[in-house]
């Protein structure tokens, strides 16, 4: 490695999965560009001539960011940083939806007098949230989480996600001192079922600050390019650092599985909250309705 690898595909299963077979059973001449995680980045049907096709492929490769040199790994939090989970068009659509609908002050959950309640406190958390009600956008988000995040959690942590909670776009605004101080996402009865959190960055580069930090694992600051995500266990202490310029937009769901779903159902009786977007909301199968 690196080098050329050939796949013997006598039963044509791989060719079929990649869409290289035509209706009559013949092959469609095509080149797939895949990233190091084996996700398809581009599909290029053969051009009129072999030389034209090679030129098109090389031009596409030249536009990709350069891979940096090897470097010694440092101590870091046990998180996944995934690139290209959402396309730029979907990131823009989610931000447009937020700007059209507006955001409401976002609270945080506490157990008080035997009930899980939503609390507002600007010193601890300053963010505005908008629940995504548009079904087409919900399906688009769900499908990409199912196809581009769930398999990586299974590979990295041997955890098979089946459920997703919260279709929420959050905005931390520098003019409001946007931040969320160090916390865990599963410390109340109403949130004990949550297993993994996704912080999906919609507009990285358009603001300053707003990094994620995991203080139990050192001073490292985490972010991702637009459409990329930081995925981590809900049990990790983490904070969103203050946004010092502009507005940071995020998509912020939680993931879990069937055993945790039973915990969620059992603990519904402890919830004493209104229809706030930060509260545990209706859950869905992560692979349902548009994930195929």
Other CB atoms within 10 Å distance of the CB of residue 238: 26
Q: Are residues 53 and 87 in the same domain?
A: no
Q: How many helices (H) and strands (E) does the chain have?
A: 6, 21
Q: Looking at residue 68, what is its pLDDT?
A: 83
Q: Do strands 221-222 and 212-213 pair parallel, antiparallel, or not at all (unpaired)?
A: antiparallel
Region 159-166: mean pLDDT is 96
Q: Are residues 132 and 171 in the same domain?
A: yes
Q: Are residues 177 and 260 in the same domain?
A: yes
Element (H, E) at 105: strand 104-105
Residue 157 lies in a domain: yes
Residue 170 lies in a domain: yes
Question: How is residue 34 written in tokens?
Answer: 């895949």
Residue 260 lies in a domain: yes
Q: Looking at residue 283, what is its pLDDT?
A: 60
Region 93-105: mean pLDDT is 97
Cross-strand pairs, 131 = 168
Q: Looking at residue 273, what is its pLDDT?
A: 57
Q: Are residues 168 and 23 in the same domain?
A: no
Q: Looking at residue 277, what is its pLDDT?
A: 41
Residue 176 lies in a domain: yes
Q: Are residues 42 and 89 in the same domain?
A: no
Q: Looking at residue 24, what is its pLDDT?
A: 87
CA angle 286, 287, 292 (to 5 degrees): 150
Q: Are residues 159 and 43 in the same domain?
A: no
| Measured distance CA(252)–CA(167) in Å, rounded | 7
Q: What is the pLDDT of residues 72-96, one digit of tens each?
A: 988 899 999 999 999 999 999 999 9
Q: Are residues 56 and 149 in the same domain?
A: no
Q: Are residues 165 and 140 in the same domain?
A: yes
Q: What is the CA radius of gyration of the chain?
A: 21
Residue 184 lies in a domain: yes
Q: Is the pLDDT of residue 225 over 50?
A: yes
Q: What is the pLDDT of residues 196-219, one digit of tens each?
A: 999 999 999 999 999 999 999 999
Residue 290 lies in a domain: no
**Which residues are CB-neighbours of 122 under 8 A, at least 6 positions away?**
177
Q: How many domains does the chain have?
A: 2
Residue 86 lies in a domain: yes
Q: Domain range for residue 38?
A: 13-63
Long-range contacts of range 150-157, CB-CB < 8 Å, 24 or more positions apart?
Answer: 150/255, 150/286, 150/287, 152/37, 152/80, 152/82, 152/231, 153/80, 153/196, 153/231, 153/255, 156/80, 157/233
Higher-confidence residue of 149 and 36: namely 149
| Measured distance CA(228)–CA(209) in Å, rounded | 17
User: Which of 21-25, 54-58, 209-213 is least confident?
Assistant: 21-25
Question: How is residue 76 written in tokens?
Answer: 């870091």
Q: Looking at residue 282, what is its pLDDT?
A: 53
Residue 75 lies in a domain: no
Q: Are residues 86 and 217 in the same domain?
A: yes
**Number of residues written out for the chain:** 292
Q: What is the pLDDT of residues 240-282, one digit of tens each?
A: 999 999 999 999 999 999 999 999 999 988 887 554 444 445 5
Supply the CATH number for residue 127's domain: 2.60.120.620
């Amino acid at each position: 490695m690196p080098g050329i690898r050939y796949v013997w595909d006598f039963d044509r299963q791989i060719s079929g999965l990649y869409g290289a077979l035509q209706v009559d059973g013949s092959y469609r001449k095509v080149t797939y560009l895949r990233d190091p995680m084996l996700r398809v980045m581009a599909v290029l049907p053969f051009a009129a001539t072999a030389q034209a096709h090679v030129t098109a492929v090389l031009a596409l490769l030249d536009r990709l960011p350069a891979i940096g040199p090897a470097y010694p790994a440092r101590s870091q939090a046990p998180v996944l940083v995934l690139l290209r989970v959402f396309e730029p068009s979907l990131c823009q659509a989610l931000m447009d939806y937020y700007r059209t609908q507006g955001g409401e002050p976002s609270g945080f959950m506490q157990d008080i007098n035997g009930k899980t309640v939503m609390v507002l406190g600007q010193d601890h958390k300053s963010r505005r949230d908008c629940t995504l009600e548009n079904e087409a956008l919900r399906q688009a988000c769900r499908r990409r989480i199912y196809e581009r995040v769930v398999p990586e959690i299974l590979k990295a942590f041997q955890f098979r996600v089946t459920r997703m909670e919260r279709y929420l776009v959050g905005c931390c605004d520098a003019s409001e001192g946007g931040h969320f101080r160090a916390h865990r996402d599963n410390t109340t009865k109403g949130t004990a079922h949550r297993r993994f959190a996704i912080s999906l960055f919609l507009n990285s580069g358009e603001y300053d600050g707003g990094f994620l930090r995991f203080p139990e694992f050192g001073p490292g600051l985490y972010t991702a390019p637009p459409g990329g995500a930081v995925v981590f266990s809900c049990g990790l202490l983490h904070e969103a650092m203050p946004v010092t310029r502009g507005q940071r937009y995020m998509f912020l769901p939680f993931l879990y599985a069937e055993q945790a779903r039973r915990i969620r159902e059992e603990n519904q009786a402890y919830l004493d909250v209104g229809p706030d977007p930060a509260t545990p909301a209706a859950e869905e199968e992560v692979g349902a309705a548009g994930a195929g």
